[in-house]
Structure 1
Amino acid sequence: MDRRVLAATACGFLFTAAFPNFGVAGLAWVAPGLLLLTAAGTTGGHAFRLGYIAGLVHFLSSLYWLLYIPFPGGAVAGWLALSAFVALYPALWVWICWQVFPGRLNKPSSDPAVPRWVAPWGQSTWWQRAGWAFSCAAAWVAMEMIRARLLSGFPWNPLGSSQYRQIPIIQLASITGVYGLSFMPVWFAVSLANTMVMFLHKPAAHRSWSGEIILPLVVSLVVAGFGL
């Protein structure tokens, strides 16, 4: 099986593990960035498919409770159909994020030691990458809001709800609602992905790669401080 497909499948389970019954809330702060990296350097269609795989795995494994409906045939059909439908939203999110990425995704690296998919990060500025991470977080929130409303809506498991036990963090909901809680982990996760890639691109340039995470890290600490 394609390694990217396996990685996308793993990302789907990471999203599920951030929610009960596993409840590893910290995974919400890394999974979105890892999902984007599974599609780095691919075509738009391939990125969409990888996002769909991750979304399908996540919703199939987190909507298992539908199988307890006391009409077995309808329960299975509903579980499969609903999961297949809502998986379109993370798929669209991955596609959108790579459409707005500031680097030239198909430009090869001038350094043979640098993987081809890493090269586009080095062709963009810090401001562009920071803006990309922020835009990806905003796009995630937009997808959740649309999912909660379109065709009667299905607002189940917005990413922010995975933080329900993180008392300092969830105080943000008093201002932004759950969507602000979804925004923060995605912004952090995509910025962390930028950090990882810039480390691969220029491991000796500490300021270059460590600076990728500074802004969301500081804001996260401020939010946590607000909630104490």
Structure 2
Amino acid sequence: MELSISIDNPMLQTNRKLNQLFLAAVFLVLVETLSNPKVEAKPINNLQQLPTSSVIAATPAWQEFSSSEGKFSVLFPNGKVEEISQPENSNSSGIKSLKMHGVTGDKNAFIVGYADFSIDVSQVAPGELIDAFLEGMLQNESKLLSQKNIQFEEYPGKEIKVKDEKNGTIYNSRFFLVGQKIYFMMVGSIETPEVSDTQKFFNSFQLIK
């Protein structure tokens, strides 16, 4: 029997607000990182180059990054992979932990991250939770250019394109829910992002044990 939760459900309202605050904070981090690659960044050591027999051999400017804590791996463009700290005012009682890593250039930024919820999100329909994250992305003078529902393995998510109306920056994002964890990937560019680079980044994401 499916659990039906209306839009007025207090639990959903609480989770929606937490998610809006969280993703708005993530969005802010990406904006700040793109504007200043040195913002609250720390070098990361657990960087692994793929073997020459793998897909990376055809594109040597890409590198594999893996997180044993976050249980994922992804390909980044060549550059220093840094851990990006969240703004001090973005802490939420509903978020147990938030981790972000990224590679930034002069005109773009590639960021991957995840958040662990400290509250039980199983009582909220996944689609409603994901829509709440979309609402968070659309704060701060942001315009939704496109969106589509996606499925990563058996997990639901969304892929969206957002434009910052203030400075014209384009952000392509994917996020999906895996149990008590939500993963997100963002590519921000002050010019039109390379579709091939964005899709390579998105499609390289894998969950690991």
| Structure showing the higher helix proportion among its residues | 1
For Structure 1 versus Structure 2, the TM-score category normalised by the shorter chain is: 0.3 to 0.5
TM-score, normalised on structure 1? Answer: 0.33
Bigger radius of gyration: 1
| Structure showing the higher strand proportion among its residues | 2
